[in-house]
């Protein structure tokens, strides 16, 4: 590879992009309560402290319940919309799909406070179920984006052949379409899970007294003495996210290969 100014710039850009995350493990294993250089030595005590914090375990369980439900709901809603958008032409298609994709660009604060105000006005208690509802809303566009890719990569003649050979529309979908888009479905489940697990604003506005992991983390940020523990937790979360993403990317590529296409880019 030639070393042009552009190459150097791109390399530096990547470096700066990763620099903050690289600090996480440094301070998570650092044997000192102050987050500053020079490092003090190696310790595992901050990770050990994570194990005996019951509030953290509750928050983690909450987050997992929310993330799993969200990923399932958002992927199902995404399947409907992505299938409709790639297979059929219908009136106001652009407007309808655009509206469903709106949460992608709308500031999360707006989504969060409008949901909160509706709940307050209806006199309902916010809680885990309302966070699931909100997360499903913001994850659906991502699910649609991924699934639309899978559906449009699929060779339509395969479905037509199945119908010609006497399969019903439902059995065609089950036997032909579904297996072909399965990698997309798995990628969508994983991505929605990751987004929901990380999402803070909606959870913060709607959590009431059942914090999710990010909301719990937010509460801890106020206490300087807890910072190394936060760093340890952050390290685990980042590693988890990266693993999930690599898995999602693997499935996406497998889907592309199954459809016999060349890889052209990332998720979005």
Partner 1 sequence: MRSEAGKGLTLISPTLVYALLLLAAPLVSIVLLSFWTQNFLTIERVFTTGNYAEALTDPLYRELMLRSLRISGMVTLLTVALAFPVAYYISFHVRPDRKSLWLFLITIPFWTSYLIRVFLWRVILAYDGPVNSGLMAVGLIDEPLSWILYNANAVVITLAHAFAPFAILPIFVSLEKIDRSLLEASRDLGESKAMTFLRVTLPLAMPGVLAAVLIVFIPTVGDYVTPRLVGGSGGTMIANMIYAQIFDLNDRPMGATLAVLAMMIVAMVLLWGISRLRFWLWLADRAGGGVKGMAVALAAALAEIVALRALFVLGPALLVAGAGVIVLLALATAGSILIFLRLPKGRWGI
Q: Which of residues 62-121 bind partner 1 (CB under 8 A)?
A: 77-78, 80-81, 83-85, 87-91, 93, 96-97, 99-100, 102-103, 105-111, 113-118, 120-121
DSSP assignment, residue 102?
G
Q: Is 15 in the site for partner 1 (CB under 8 A)?
A: no
Q: Is 6 in the site for partner 1 (CB under 8 A)?
A: yes
Residues between 137 and 156 that touch partner 1 (CB under 8 A): 137, 140, 144
| Residues 164, 158: Cα–Cα separation, whole Å | 10
**What are the angstrom distances between the C-alpha of 99 and each of 95, 104, 118, 140?**
6, 10, 20, 12
Q: How far is the CB of 33 from partner 1 (least distance, A)?
A: 12
Q: Is 261 in the site for partner 1 (CB under 8 A)?
A: no
Considering the complex, state which of residue 157 and residue 222 has its C-beta at the smaller distance from partner 1: 222
Q: Is 249 in the site for partner 1 (CB under 8 A)?
A: yes
Count of CA atoms in the C-beta half-sphere (13 A) of 27: 19
Q: At what angle do helices 128-153 and 54-87 cross, to 10 degrees?
A: 40
User: Cα angle at 169 between 163 and 170, to 5 degrees?
Assistant: 135
Q: Is 13 in the site for partner 1 (CB under 8 A)?
A: yes
Q: How far is the CB of 237 from partner 1 (least distance, A)?
A: 5
Q: How far is the CB of 203 from partner 1 (least distance, A)?
A: 10
Q: How far is the CB of 230 from partner 1 (least distance, A)?
A: 7
Q: Coil, strand, or helix at residue 119?
A: helix
Binding partner 1 by CB under 8 A: which of 49, 65, 133, 259? 133
Q: Residues 15, 21, 26, 27: what is their CA dihedral angle, to the nearest 10 degrees?
A: 140
DSSP assignment, residue 177?
I
Q: Is 23 in the site for partner 1 (CB under 8 A)?
A: yes
Binding partner 1 by CB under 8 A: which of 30, 70, 75, 136? 136
Residues between 180 and 199 that touch partner 1 (CB under 8 A): 191, 194-195, 198
Residue 194-233 contact track with partner 1, rule CB under 8 A, x = bound: xx--x-xx---x--------x--xx--x-----x--x---
Total number of residues shown for the chain: 268
Q: Is 255 in the site for partner 1 (CB under 8 A)?
A: no
Separation of first and last alpha carbons in the chain: 28
Residues between 30 and 49 that touch partner 1 (CB under 8 A): 34-38
**What are the angstrom distances between the C-alpha of 67 and each of 2, 74, 122, 208?**
44, 10, 25, 17
């Amino acid at each position: 590879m030639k070393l042009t100014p552009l190459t150097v710039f791109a390399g530096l850009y990547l470096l700066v992009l990763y620099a903050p995350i690289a600090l996480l493990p440094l301070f998570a294993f650092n044997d000192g309560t102050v987050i500053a250089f020079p490092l003090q030595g190696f310790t595992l005590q901050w990770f050990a402290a994570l194990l005996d914090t019951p509030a953290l375990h509750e928050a983690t369980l909450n987050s997992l319940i929310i993330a799993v439900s969200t990923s399932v709901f958002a992927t199902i809603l995404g399947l409907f919309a992505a299938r409709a958008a790639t297979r059929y032409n219908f009136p106001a298609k652009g407007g309808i799909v655009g509206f469903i994709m709106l949460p992608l660009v709308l500031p999360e604060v707006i989504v969060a406070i409008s949901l909160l105000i509706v709940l307050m006005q209806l006199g309902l208690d916010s809680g885990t179920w309302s966070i699931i509802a909100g997360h499903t809303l913001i994850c659906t566009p991502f699910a649609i984006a991924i699934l639309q890719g899978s559906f449009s990569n699929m060779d339509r003649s395969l479905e037509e052949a199945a119908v010609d050979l006497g399969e019903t529309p439902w059995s065609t979908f089950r036997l032909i379409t579904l297996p072909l888009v399965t990698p997309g479905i798995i990628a969508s489940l994983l991505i929605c899970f990751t987004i929901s697990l990380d999402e803070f604003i909606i959870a913060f506005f709607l959590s009431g007294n059942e914090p999710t992991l990010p909301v719990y983390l937010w509460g801890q940020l106020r206490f300087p003495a807890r910072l190394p523990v936060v760093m340890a937790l952050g390290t685990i979360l980042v590693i988890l996210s990266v693993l999930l993403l690599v898995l999602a990317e693997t499935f996406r590529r497998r889907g592309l290969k199954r459809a016999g296409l060349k890889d052209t880019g990332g998720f979005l």
